[in-house]
Amino acid sequence: MPNNLPEFVYAGTSKAASTWMHECLRDHPELTLPDTDSLNFFDIKYHCGVDWYERQFAHADKNTVVGEMTPSYLRSEGAAARISKTLEDPTVFFCLRNPVDRAFSHWWHSRRKEYVTYDFEEIFQINPAFQHWIVPGFYAYHLDRYDEYFDDANLEILFFDDLIEDDEAFIQDIYGTLGVDNEYVPEPIGEKTNAAGYNVPNVLEYAHRTGARFFPQPLKDAVKPIYDRFQEALGDRSAYDEGMDAEIREQIERLYLHDVRRLSERTGRDLDHWFEFHSLKDTSSDVTPGYGAIDSRQIEH
- Side by side, which strands form the sheet with 8-12? 31-32, 65-69, 8-12, 91-96, 155-159
Output the CA–CA distances (angstroms, integers) from residue 174 to 2, 94, 218, in the order listed: 25, 11, 50
Measured on CA atoms in the order 204, 209, 210, 213, is the torsion positive or negative?
A: positive
Alpha carbon dihedral 51, 52, 58, 60, in 10-degree steps, equals -90
The pLDDT of residue 108 is: 85
pLDDT at 88: 96
Question: Count H helices, E strands: the chain?
Answer: 11, 5
**Residues 6+ away with beta carbon under 8 Å from 58:** 4
Distances (CA, A) of 109 to 14, 72, 140: 11, 16, 24
Residue 297 has pLDDT above 90, yes or no: no
Stated as kind and residue range, the H or E segment containing 207 is helix 202-214
Q: Which of 39-43, 255-259, 277-281 has the lowest mean pLDDT?
A: 277-281
Highest mean pLDDT among 112-121, 150-159, 225-234: 150-159
Tens digit of each residue's pLDDT (9 = 90 or more) over 141-191: 999 999 999 999 999 999 999 999 999 999 999 999 999 999 999 999 877
Amino acid type, 96: L
> 110 versus 10: which is more confidently predicted?
10
State the Cα–Cα distance between residues 268 and 271, nearest whole angstrom. Answer: 9
SS3 89: coil
Residue type, 160: F
- Please state the domain extents for the chain: 202-242
pTM, 2 dp: 0.80
pLDDT digits (tens, 9 = 90+) for 7-16: 999 999 999 9
- Look at residue 118 and give its three-state secondary structure: coil
Mean pLDDT to the nearest integer, 220-227: 53
Question: Sign (positive/negative) of CA torsion 222, 227, 232, 236?
Answer: positive
**Phi, psi (deg, nearest 5) at residue 110:** -65, -40
